[in-house]
Amino acid sequence: MKNSLLFIICLLITLTTYSQIKHGLRDEQGRHIIPRGFVINTNDHAGEVFFNNDDYARMVRMGANTQVIRLELGKLSNFPGGKLEPDYLKKLDTLVSLGQRSGIKTVFKMTVYGVDKFIWEEFWQNKKKEYSTYIDAWKVIWKRYAETPSVLGYDVVNEPRKLTMDISYEDLTNTYLIPLYRTIIDESQKINADKKILFQSIFMNKGEGIDNNQYAEITSPINRKNIIFAPHIYQNKKHLVKPVMDRFDKESEMLNAPILIGEWGFPTFAKTDTLVSGKLGQLEYRDLYIKTAEVFDRMGVGSIKAWFLGNRSMQHFLPGGPSTWSIFSDSTDAGTVERKYITDVISRPFPQTIAGDIDTFMFNFATRTLNLNITSNNSKGASTIFIGANRHYPDGFSILIDDDIVMYHNPLKKVRLETYKAPKDFNASDFIWDEYTQKLTILKWPNDKSNLNIKIVPGLRNF
């Protein structure tokens, strides 16, 4: 009896912890959006990486509406060993264009790869005007995409480090990192103040993480507008996912910046592809990823998964053996053979764009049910929900809105959504299912300025 009561109490706490989404990001029409997608590498350890229209179609069919393109400092700057490469800029143009045609927004993230050496201790001291050189590299990007609506913003410093500096993480953050962020933001907003600036915290030295979280806490505000807190989480302990995210939540409130998880997903070991259960087995990974995804969704935060790559190379820094962040297991650059124990979790149904406010949403993996609560506002335009029926609802799905409306999609029929139940004034043509993109578009909600409960459930409901 005691155990049953404890379970019920824990369940109620879990369900009410994030009772309403507060990390609201908005698009240019004022619609509530949940960015989700992938880190896009321009190269890997084996060389350059190239993508095409088919790759972007696969991203869309996995729920992507946002890409984060990793920039190489060595191809954009005058740091030793680096230089501005026009062909690299053309490659970036192609990636932005491929995304734009597929309905995918772009965020650029600056990495320090491609220079002869990048010493963080020297960078922070700024004795050779390293900040100006770094910002000049960014200016190339800011000016090039200032008038490109599909470019959402810029993740300005990727995983900044301390390494051997004799300074606390808090002092490094307050004395160097936050002033640098303010300078970068001010310079960027001179070019286009509407672009979002994403920022991260200090990546702590190995072994100095707290609760297995390798990122130092930010304790002072940046005091700038149009900013997004973009922490990374590579947590491999299920019970620590929520405490880490709770800390990020606290930082977000202090910073007055919504959260977009800039990278997530503990790397996969080579042995996991053939090991179903046990330590490092596929079931363990699936369970970890589901737990992480549920915490994200309860908080209503967007998330970007590393990496949309094939398994052309492996890392060798973890004790479990060769590992990778690549979501495909074949040995090509872009990759096509999914690690399904990861990708089915990444590609779970979710509200992408809602005309109004997303109050709560959650996908239940056990029942394959998306439960979504919104406050509608048709003046903002159309809404989209990613359903991913090809992987989650091969038996078809039904759409339930409150107790009034029931529609369904039968995969055996090549017809539009069918209506089982609805009020007389209901317009079924406002609900459009797109098999190619795996999205449901709602041109207009049946009840405006109303609280609505929408459920996506498996099968053709037996009423």
pLDDT in tens, 240-284: 999 999 999 999 999 999 999 999 999 999 999 999 999 999 999
Reading phi first (left if > 0) and then psi (alpha if -120 to 50, else beta), residue 63 is in left
Under CATH, what is the fold of the domain 21-347? Answer: TIM Barrel (3.20.20)
Mean local confidence (pLDDT), 157-184: 97
Most distant CA atoms of the chain, gap in Å:
72
- Please work out, in degrees rounded to the nearest 5, the angle formed at the alpha carbon of residue 163 by the alpha carbons of 158 and 168: 95
Among 66, 64, 85, residue whose Cα is nearest residue 76: 85
pLDDT tens digit string along 334-346?
999 999 999 999 9
Closest CA to 42 of 9, 75, 66, 10: 75
pLDDT at 38 over 80: yes
Is the model's pLDDT at 4 over the cut of 70? no
The C-alpha angle with vertex 124 and arms to 119 and 127, in degrees rounded to 5, equals 90
pLDDT per position as a tens digit, 354-405? 999 999 999 999 999 999 999 999 999 999 999 999 999 999 999 999 999 9
Q: How far apart are CA 75 and CA 9, in angstroms?
A: 55
Cβ atoms of 438 and 387 closer than 8 Å: yes
Q: Residue 304: in which H helix or E strand, if any? A: strand 302-305
Closest CA to 266 of 155, 345, 370: 345
Q: How many CB atoms lie within 10 A of CB 281?
A: 17
Domain span(s) for CATH 2.60.40 in the chain: 356-458
Which residue is associated with the tokens 């990636």? 95
Separation between Cα atoms, residue 416 and residue 410, nearest integer Å: 9
- Contacts of 415 by beta carbon, 8 Å cutoff, 6+ apart: none
Kindly report the backbone phi and psi dihedral angles of residue 369, in degrees, each rounded to the nearest multiple of 5, phi listed first: -120, 125
Of 121-135, 232-246, 306-320, 344-358, the one with minimum mean pLDDT is 306-320
Half-sphere exposure for 50 (CA within 13 Å, toward CB): 4
> Which pLDDT score is estimated for 21?
78
pLDDT at residue 137, as a whole number = 98
Report whether pLDDT(14) > 50: no
Are the C-beta atoms of residues 299 and 259 closer than 8 Å to each other? Answer: yes
| Tens of pLDDT, residues 200-212 | 999 999 889 988 8
Neighbours of 436 (CB within 10 A): 8
Tokens for 61? 């069919």
For residue 4, the SS3 value is helix
DSSP classification of residue 174 = I
State how far the Cα of 416 lies from the Cα of 428, in Å rounded to an integer: 9
CA R_g for the chain? 22
**Amino acid letter, residue 35:** P
For the chain, the residue count is 463
Do the beta carbons of residue 254 and residue 217 sit within 8 Å? no
Residue in the block written with tokens 């949403």: 361
* Residue 203 near residue 158 (C-beta atoms within 8 A): no
pLDDT at residue number 341 = 97
* Structure-model confidence comparison of residues 415 and 452, the more confident one: 452
Distance CA 68, CA 77 (A): 20
Whole-number Cα distances in Å, 76 to 83, 127, 139, 141, 182: 6, 21, 10, 9, 21
Strand partners, 384: 353, 441
Alpha helices in 77-162 (DSSP H): 86-101, 120-125, 130-144
Cis peptide before 307 (omega within 30 of 0): yes
Percentage of the chain beyond pLDDT 90 is 90
Dihedral angle sign, alpha carbons of residues 399, 405, 411, 415 = negative
Question: Is the confidence at residue 23, as pLDDT, over 60?
Answer: yes
Query: pLDDT tens across 85-119, in order?
Result: 999 999 999 999 999 999 999 999 999 999 999 99
Q: How far is CA 410 from CA 220, 395, 460, in A?
A: 53, 8, 7
Indicate the pLDDT class of residue 192, thresholds 50, 70 and 90.
very high
Ranges for all domains in the chain classified under CATH 3.20.20.80? 21-347
d(CA 25, CA 12): 27
Which pLDDT score is estimated for 463?
52
Half-sphere exposure of 390 (CA within 13 A, CB side): 15
CA distance 344 to 391: 7
CB-based contact 62:343 (threshold 8 Å): yes
| Average pLDDT in the chain | 94
Contact 247/217 with Cβ under 8 angstroms?
yes
What H or E segment, with its residue span, contains residue 239? helix 238-255
pLDDT at 462: 54
**pLDDT for 40 beyond 50:** yes
The CATH architecture of the domain made up of 356-458 is: Sandwich (2.60)
Element (H, E) at 337: none
Band (443; pLDDT cuts 50, 70, 90): very high
- Give me the pLDDT at residue 237, please: 95
**Which pLDDT band, with edges at 50, 70 and 90, does 45 fall under?**
confident
Q: Is the pLDDT of residue 13 over 90?
A: no
Residue 20 has a pLDDT of 60
